[in-house]
A and B are shown apart, each in its own frame.
Chain A
Amino acid sequence: MAGTASEYIRHHLQNLTYGNLPAGYERADGSVLNDSTWTIAKNAAEASDMGFWAVHVDSLGWSVLLGVIFLGLFRMAAKKATSGTPGGLQNFVEVMVEFVDTSVKETFHGRNKVIAPLALTIFCWIFLMNLMDLVPVDFLPWLFHAAGVEYMKVVPTTDVNVTLGMSLSVFLLIIFYSIKIKGVGGFMSELTMHPFSSDNIFLKILLVPVNFLLEGVSLLAKPVSLALRLFGNLYAGELLFILIALLPLWAQWTLSVPWAIFHILVITLQAFIFMMLTIVYLSMAHEDNH
């Protein structure tokens, strides 16, 4: 991990990418591929040359691992859930469930069995993924480096693919419920008849493109803002930790400790915001009061 500061930073921000390189591609070590090959990218240029059909193994691996930890923990509590005196784990899980449940009930007034578990999954999963940010920046990459893995980005939410993957899923749910509740016609009229409306039929038709543009942008802005807000916050946080790690060893704690403490707030807040906005968007999708 030697090298200049900018190399160090770039190295830390590079995902472990698995993808396809075309035939005739000159690899980082100068060798030329005879056939198109599925392989692990050796540097950032290779990773970006892999194009869309590549996977960030580290982001996906960590996010799935954390999701499994979350669900395993909660499933364990759910299996042993009693209505009697709860144990420590059940207590914790119940607090989380009740917290999410009240958040959902305060915002969402319809009947939907999906939203509350969805919100719980979002909150806990994103919280855990964000929490990886508090692991010292060099610790896990160093371990993996010792094991022969060159790149390792351990905070899945600093990968825009991860946040976009989640927000686009939420987006699909928004569209699905909008159409389910209001029908295709209702959803379309919501997109085209508001916010500008007129009693004159001619004027109404004239206003359709304007409305559609406005509503379309506001609809598309939802998943993008959802994903980029989370990504931006965590990416910035991670970057700051990396920058602090460039300081001399004896001085690092003066900055990293306050930033880590502040970051606890950011981590929780971002997970909460993602959850709340999901609930709000879905509740808007359920409402038919335009």
Chain B
Amino acid sequence: MNINLTLIGQAIAFFIFVVFCMKYVWPPITAALQERQKKIADGLAASDRAARDLELAQDKAAQELREAKQEGAALIEQANKRAAQIVEASKDDARKEGQKLIEQAKAEIEQERNQAREALRAEIAAIAIAGAEKILESSVDANKHSEMLDKLAAEL
């Protein structure tokens, strides 16, 4: 239990250890701890931000989807309308075409009938002249009587 120089030796050792600890042990460890703390805080902030971004992106995606759907629906409607129009128009066209064809055909028929009638008339006139020649036993001057014959033919 003697108090002696050990006391001072211990105090000196204590002093040296504390200084060493203060200079070479404490700062690197606390620096690493603080850096890790910062990293974790940054990481958490980043994940928060990412979650928010994700939410925003989802919202945006949903909105765009909705818009696209609307647009698609509008397009389909327009297309339907257009198709109906086209069908209507082509029906019209077809009707018109048909009408035209019918008219043309009618005109042709008319023309052919006229031609046939013309021909028939001419033939009948000839037959009539021939008949008349036979009846009169003399030739009929076709040129002389053409006016009369024409009148006759026109009556047929």
Contacts and interface: CB of A to CB of B under 8 A. Distances in A.
Do A and B assemble together? Answer: yes
Contacts of A113: 22
A65 B54 CA distance: 58
Interface string A186-214: 00000000000000000000000000000
Question: Majority SS of interface residues in chain B?
Answer: helix
Contacts of A110: none
Given A54-B2, A83-B32, A166 B11 contact: yes
A71 B5 CA distance: 24
Contacts of B31: 81
Interface in A59-77: 59-60, 63-64, 67, 70-71, 74-75, 77
A50 B14 CA distance: 24
A24 interface: no
B5 A78 contact: no
10 contacts: A19-B4, A19-B5, A48-B2, A54-B6, A55-B5, A55-B9, A83-B33, A90-B32, A113-B22, A161-B10
Given A52-B5, A81-B32, A165-B9, 13 more contacts: A19-B5, A51-B2, A53-B5, A55-B5, A60-B6, A60-B10, A60-B13, A67-B17, A78-B27, A117-B25, A161-B2, A166-B11, A168-B7
Interface of A: 15, 17, 19, 47-48, 50-56, 59-60, 63-64, 67, 70-71, 74-75, 77-79, 81-84, 86, 90, 93-94, 97-98, 101, 113-114, 116-118, 120-121, 125, 156, 159-162, 164-166, 168-169
Interface of B: 1-11, 13-15, 17-18, 20-22, 24-33, 35-36, 38-39
